[in-house]
Structure 1
């Protein structure tokens, strides 16, 4: 006997999604493929939201394992999962949420050298939750050249107020040094050199001033530019990013 839920049980799982977004949109989500790159403080929560919204295919890209320093902000991080691969934990979680989902696992970090290989086959949309500038730049260039819809998460480290999270084109982001550096590097390559010219890259960022306690543990291993991080902020980045993913999927359906 198949382990897949019967139609009535499956319909009950996602009835709330179909009611609020509409049957047509939900059916489109079921047929959509979203790639999430970086399954950390933002990416892990984004994967959860995508699975619970009924996205039919998700590709998870990361080569990291769960560490104790992840517990404060990353969904898969618990005592029982320390040392386990993040992509494996999140893939199984997605299947528990939706047994019909297709989950692709890429146990690797995105680099300028492998970006084309990793994005083949091409997903409907890419959600960038990477914290490495070189990788983010390579992804932006590849997606722009190949016209792949891309949503980029800015830096969440040191941010305390989730109400200060904003959404804008890369040309208009503020208070985010990483996004500012990426903007400069793209312009140095002749892309959107005019100050008001839009890049066509949707970014999630915060206008909050970064905060760091004087008592920072140097062994914490946080990849947040030396700052601490708050789950209320990282998860909010993720939820806003997924809302933007759904908007773009709806535009592709129209």
Structure 2
């Protein structure tokens, strides 16, 4: 069996011992393990993060296979977080993966101890749930990063990172800001988002009439960028 030290050798050569120890001890929660969140978690585990909580209420469907890490013809019908956990433990059997098959929403938010995490990642689709997570996460000490809309994109070079209030050209960000204003809610601190200002029309047909078309190379870059922001922040805290 491969040991963890050998698996992470190339990472340690780049980042150094001190950063690697911080990565190993960091506690990260990822909400939503779909097209964006699944790749974020993959990036975190392969970078040496050992303590990860993954949250999602859905099961793997055939339409997920084109872009979600744990979605294969063998996992269709399985609980997403369980399929994801099984995959992650194949990468690092010593990782502590907490898989929560549930939804972060108004009825369940108090069950999640957000204050226990060093990093919180939002990869939620539902606008109401996303607003709630943003509000709650910003009230904690955790570093918080959020994914804006990754669907209806094609050009990977247009994916960017900026502070939430500075996101332009993203309908999801615009809707969120409008809903926050209407509700009289202001997140208690600034936070950075991954987004793209590109917006294409859906083409062809879909088995899910309300679904937006999306591609792996875009959702994957969104997810890996979120993971990269975590690793970058941990490294910065060393210096």
Whether TM-score is above 0.5 comes out as yes
* Match of residue 48, structure 1, among 39, 42, 54: 42
SS in 1 for 2:8: helix
Please report the TM-score for the alignment, with normalisation by the length of structure 1: 0.87
Change (3 A) 1:249 1:116: farther
SS in 1 for 2:194: strand
- Aligned twin of 1:195: none
Correspondence 1:157 to 2:125: no
Please report the TM-score for the alignment, with normalisation by the length of structure 2: 0.93
Q: Which runs of 5 or more structure 1 residues have no equivalent in the other structure? A: 193-197
TM alignment of 1:27-176, pairs within 5 A: 27-120=21-114, 122-176=116-170
CA deviation string 1:107-159 (max 9, x = no partner):
10110232232235621101111011101110111112223321100111110
TM alignment of 1:158-237, pairs within 5 A: 158-188=152-182, 189=184, 191=186, 199-213=189-203, 215-217=204-206, 219-220=207-208, 226-237=211-222
Shift of 1:228: 0.6
Q: Which runs of 5 or more structure 2 residues have no equivalent in the other structure? A: none
Larger-Rg structure: 1
Is this contact kept in 1: 2:29–2:53, CA < 8 A? yes
Q: CA RMSD in A?
A: 1.9
Is this contact kept in 2: 1:169–1:199, CA < 8 A? no
SS in 1 for 2:200: coil
Matched residues, number: 238
Shift of 1:253: 4.7
Is this contact kept in 2: 1:52–1:97, CA < 8 A? yes
Is this contact kept in 1: 2:67–2:216, CA < 8 A? yes
* Match of residue 249, structure 1, among 222, 227, 234: 234
SS in 2 for 1:184: helix
Is this contact kept in 1: 2:161–2:195, CA < 8 A? yes
Paired with 1:49 and 1:146, the residues of 2 have a C-alpha distance of 24
Which aligned runs of 4 or more in structure 1 are off by greater than 6 angstroms?
none
Shift of 1:252: 4.3
